[in-house]
Each structure stands twice: as C-alpha cells, then as structure tokens.
Structure 1
Amino acid sequence: MQFDTLDDIRAFCRDLPQGNAHVADAATRRQQNLTKPPGSLGRLEELAIWLARWQGREVPWLGRVTIAVFAGNHGVAGRGVSAYPQAVTGQMVANFAAGGAAINQIAQSAGAELRVVPIELDRPTRDFTVASAMDADEFLAAIDIGYRTVPGDCDLLAVGEMGIANTTTAAMLCAALLGGGGKRWAGRGTGVDEGGLLRKRAAIDAGLDFHRGMLGDPLRVAAALGGRELAAIAGAVLAARRQGIPVLLDGFVATAAVLPLARLERGALDHCRAGHVSAESGHRELLRELTLDPLLDLGMRLGEASGAAVAILLARAALACHAGMATFAEAGVSGAGD
C-alpha cells in the first residue's frame, strides 16, 4: 500500500476491515466449555478471544510474533528537553543490533523476532516550536516505512520506539489533539530535572501557539508536531489492520503515535491493546482518553517496546489455555448444571 497524500490515509481509515465477530463468538463458546468456571481466567480469556477476532481463527496461533522498534531524532531536542544527548539514539540502535538492550532479552524470552528500523537519524525533524517538524512528504515517507516493516504472515505485532526527546513530541501530540497544554502532558521522560521539565512544558506551549491554525486536523498535527518514528508506528498499525494482525502498543510514545488515527476515525484502534501502562506522566490519562485498558502495570518507562514485549508472554499464556485445555466433555468433568 502506498500513501501518496494525506487524503489517501483518510480514505484508508474510512474503510478499515473489522474483526471477525463469528469467530469471536466461537472462541467465546469454547472458553465457556473449557474445564474451569466461566470467567475464572479473567483477562486471559478476553485476550484469547481478541486474538481470535482479529486473526480470524477460533483457536489463534502465535507462530510468528514480531516486535518493531522504530528510531528517530527530533529537532526540539536542541531546547534542552532531554537528560541525554541526541547521539544516544544512534548508540542505542547499535546496542539493539549487538543484542545488548533490554528489548533483546525480552524478545528472546517471548519468542519474538525483533526488527529495529532507524529512520534518518542524521536528519532530525525540525524544531516544532518554530517550524513544521515534517512536511507532508516526509511524514508520508515515514508512514510508508512503518507500513512496509510489518510481515504479512505475522500473527501478533508489538510496536515501540527509540528517540531522544520523543516524550516531548508525544506530549506535544497529546496536547494538540486532546488539550491541556504542556503542564497536563509533559513528564520527566529520561529523567530531566525541574528545569528540564519546565523547558519541555514551554516547548509544547510554544508549539501549540505556533501551529494553532491547524490543530483540528489530526494528520496535519501528526506531521507538523510529530516525529518520524511515531509516524512509522502509525503506518505499522495501519498495515496490521489491513492484514488482520492484532497489535500490542508499548508506552506513552507508542500510544501517542496512534492517537491521530483514533482522532481521525472511531474504531481505528480496535485491533490494538495497550501492553502496559508506563510510569511516564501522561500515559495513564492518554489510555483513559482512548479507552484502552492496559494489560500490565509494572512501573516501566523504558520504551523500546519493552512493556509490549512482556505482554506477549501474557498472550502466549492466554493462547496456551485457550488451545490446550480440555473441554468438560473431553475431560469427563461435569459442567455447571450437570
């Protein structure tokens, strides 16, 4: 799929495929006949049914699970909004390639392939306080990179990011699309001090003021105030929807990356689940705005898809019970009312 204009994305989102309700009903009936009291596995049951709905299989399959981590750099970093220099983005990408990061270890434990996609790290986006971070063509190019990263035979996708200053960019998108300004959305990110937090808030408020004429258009906001790795996450989520692949979202930045899609079209994130709620300020409130109930709450705030990757283990546990447990009839166990 190639998006040549922002209108192409709008048209795509107006015609999103829906999950298979008949399959979900069949998966629900299976859950009711397994050797346990109905509902006793709680959200593991719901997770299995959600996988069934979006894969179109009564008994889902997690043979190929992909974690996609997109990396980008941000012009707003020059305003002192991060505790780390921008060079760390590329250094961490190298660490991913060498297998030395947290996500490498979690991906291996979860039985998932890891795809790390750096996007023009030597050409940061422009500082959104004084210019558009990306023009439409740059934004569409990043969307396309994300879209093409998703393998067609993937059974479950987890998305995450790496990018110095991208919690500022994520907070910027939230402020532009949900209101409240820098004070509502800016957190400490990589651990900025009080001065750094004030600079983040000021940058967000300056961006809102500079771009106030276009804040009603989610895609223009995503281009002018976002980042390449965030756009790529949105592209990957669109590809997953088209291909019938359920998605686990990572933390604050990954969730903010798909906020424009949710504002563009109701139901655009129905195939997504929040892998976890981050300790980063703003994520819990953003999930409430999107009515996404996180699977985990572990106090994590690393990024790089780490929380979503841990949630893959939950998905595997849910599927193991859904596929492997005996029904009452198979086990010769009396069911309720027998």
Structure 2
Amino acid sequence: MNTFDIQPVNSNTAAALTHKINYKTKPLGALGVLEKIALQVGCIQDTLAPALHHPAIVVFAGDHGIAKEGVSPYPQEVTYQMVYNFLQGGAGINVFSRQNGIAIKVVDAGVNFNFEAHPDLINAKVGHGTKSYLTGDAMSEAECSTAIDKGAAIVKEICAEGCNVIGFGEMGIGNTSSAAIIMSLLCELPLEQCIGRGTGLNDEGLKKKTAVLTAAMDYHANLDKTPFNILKTFGGFEIAMICGAMLKAAELKMVILVDGFITTAALLVAAGIDTNVLDYCIFSHQSDEQGHALMLKKLKAEPVLHLGMRLGEGTGAAVAYPLIKSAVNFLNEMASFESAGVSNKA
C-alpha cells in the first residue's frame, strides 16, 4: 500500500476568514452552518477567496461474499444491474448530479460480473467480489492494498483534470454488513447498535443478519484490530477504494463530501490510518441507517442535512453540494459593512 502525506489544514487563515465572515452585511452568525462551511473550505484551500472547481462524485461498485449468506433482501446480481443503471443515467445519483452540475465517475472495484468496455466505466476490478468473512478474510493483504492504491490513483487523475471538490458513493449488495462490523470494531460499540436494515430487511431478516455478523466476528475474535486488518478482513473492494480515494483527496487538499453509512465506514478506516483526513471532510448528511448517527458522533462530525435518506450511491453528497456552493458564494460575493456603506452595530 502506498503511503500518504496529509498535511493538517492551515489554521493560520482561520482568523482572517472569520473576520471576513463576521463583517458581511448580516448579523453575527446569521448564516449558521454556512459560515462554518465557508471557514472550513477557506482553510482547506488556504485562501480568503475559495473556489469550487469541476465537482465530481465517484461511485465505486463491488460485490461481497457475505451477500450469499442472506444478509440482504436483494440478490447479488443487483450490484451489476445497478452499475448499468448508473451508466444509463437512471439512478438517483445521476438525477441529483445532473441537477447540480456534478460529474459522475462509475468504477468497477470488484463486481462479480464481466462488463464490456464502456466510456463511462472505469475498470479497476481487483476480483469478482470478496470472499465471505464468515469463514475467512474478505480480502488478502495484497488485494486490500491494491484496492486502496487504485482508489488513490483514480482521485489523483480526477484532481489533475481540475477537480477540487469530490464526493464518493458506493454500490454493493451486502456492504452495510461490512460497514456495521467496521463500525463496531473501530468505534468500539456493540454490534447490535451498528447493524441496520440496509436495503429494507424485515424483522426476521434483521435477526438473521445479526446472527450471521455475530458469528463472523466470533470467528475472527483473535484479529489484530488495526484499521488495515479490519478493512481486509471485513471490508469490500469498493470500501477499500473509497478509503484510498479519501486519503489521496486529502493529500491533494481537495474538499471531501462524505456521504452516508458505507462511505463513513471507509472514512473510519482512513482516519485510523491518518487522522488528518478529517480536516478535509464535510459531512453531507446523517443517514437513516441505524448506526450512522453514532459514527458521526465518534468522529465529532456535524452533518449538513437530516433528510432521512439511506440510498447510498453518493446521493447525500450530491444533494448537499448546492449548500457548500452557497457557503463559498456568500463568502466571495456578499458585501461587507464597509463596502456597502452599511452601519455596523454600535
């Protein structure tokens, strides 16, 4: 696995940015969360006049061996079928990205299907899905490292094309199971607080999912619980690629729009590798998937939106992006008391 050189955000700019924000023609703090976002983006870019260029969302798709254990109400084939939906422009992430001028990149990280070449599909396949972690590791060390490196390489290329604000989405039947175990181990929380209904399990399905994941954790009870080991043991190719993508985006000083439960699980791993990645993250929303609120609490993160969404695909990041843009625009375009000739409070 490549190493990453992530520098902490330059806090020296914060004082000047705060002054600029406070002296806009508005009551102090009147733009609420938008002011916090403006401050963060300005610090990330180390400027009083930040700009968002060529926003992109990368959707990584991968299959999971654990899906064959009945942890999802949907068959594994839905993963590749949804990739085709992304490529045809028919998914939720396509709709919201078109609306908000965000470029979409779709990546085959490890789908159990052989796609024909497509101009809008990046072939980064590490394997035809992970193995079931009920009886072994999901990935070998080499596979996990390769996935992390491929995610990083994809972001490096997107950044070179002029993008400086990026979000990540995912598609993979069974990936809420991986995310739940990753969360349980890295947040040190009971598994029951981390498992949710995923794509819509009923009570009986949720009970079965809990039993399967509990058995998997028992099987790996003696695991050396480093972030990398947890990822290779329980993760997915798409989750590993998102982890590498986030680390590289932070190294390149890009603004990272964090989506929901799965991508935040990838971020837990990334932050375990280098905590400085968190300086570059804006948390777009709080997912309705059980566990995400506790993930955000662990990361001391304040989500921009609470819309009860749990679609994945990067949809939360796409829906939140206009608010990030609003924060940058008010900072750059709103008059100050001095420039507008408006009296400030006494």
TM-score by length of structure 1 reads 0.93
Following superposition, the deviation at residue 61 of structure 1 comes to 0.7
Equivalent in the alignment of 2:79: 89
- 1:98 and 2:88 correspond: yes
Following superposition, the deviation at residue 321 of structure 1 comes to 1.0
Equivalent in the alignment of 2:207: 198
- 1:134 and 2:143 correspond: no
Alpha carbons 1:66, 1:157 under 8 Å: kept: yes
Alpha carbons 1:187, 1:282 under 8 Å: kept: yes
Alpha carbons 1:262, 1:290 under 8 Å: kept: no
Give the one of 98, 103, 117 matched to 1:113. Answer: 103
Alpha carbons 2:7, 2:276 under 8 Å: kept: no
What RMSD over aligned residues (CA atoms) do the two structures have, in Å? 1.4
Equivalent in the alignment of 1:53: 43
Alignment deviations for residues 12-48 of structure 1 (CA, whole Å, 9 cap, x no partner): 3xx5211122233222121112111121100101101
Per the alignment, in what secondary structure is the counterpart of residue 308 of structure 1?
A: helix
Equivalent in the alignment of 2:116: none
Per the alignment, in what secondary structure is the counterpart of residue 269 of structure 1?
A: helix
Structure 2 CA distance for aligned equivalents of residues 310 and 24 of structure 1? 27
Equivalent in the alignment of 1:319: 328
Structure 2 CA distance for aligned equivalents of residues 267 and 155 of structure 1? 17
Following superposition, the deviation at residue 215 of structure 1 comes to 4.2
Alignment deviations for residues 75-104 of structure 1 (CA, whole Å, 9 cap, x no partner): 000110111111111111111111101111
Structure 2 CA distance for aligned equivalents of residues 65 and 56 of structure 1? 19
Alpha carbons 1:175, 1:185 under 8 Å: kept: yes
Alpha carbons 1:31, 1:45 under 8 Å: kept: yes
Counterpart AA for 2:138: A
- 1:26 and 2:16 correspond: yes
- 1:75 and 2:33 correspond: no
TM-score by length of structure 2 reads 0.91
Give the one of 124, 127, 130 matched to 1:125. Answer: 130
Counterpart AA for 2:233: A
**Larger deviation, residues 92-101 vs 48-57:** 48-57
Give the one of 297, 305, 308 matched to 1:296. Answer: 305
Counterpart AA for 1:308: A
- 1:44 and 2:48 correspond: no
Change in CA separation of 1:283 and 1:171 when aligned onto 2, cut-off 3 Å: same
Equivalent in the alignment of 1:169: 178
Counterpart AA for 1:134: M
Alignment gaps of 5+ in structure 1: none
Per the alignment, in what secondary structure is the counterpart of residue 137 of structure 1?
A: helix
**Larger deviation, residues 100-109 vs 298-307:** 100-109
Alpha carbons 1:67, 1:159 under 8 Å: kept: yes
Structure 1 CA distance for aligned equivalents of residues 292 and 224 of structure 2? 21
Structure 2 CA distance for aligned equivalents of residues 247 and 240 of structure 1? 7
Equivalent in the alignment of 2:117: none
Per the alignment, in what secondary structure is the counterpart of residue 25 of structure 1?
A: helix
Alpha carbons 2:60, 2:169 under 8 Å: kept: yes
Equivalent in the alignment of 1:219: 228
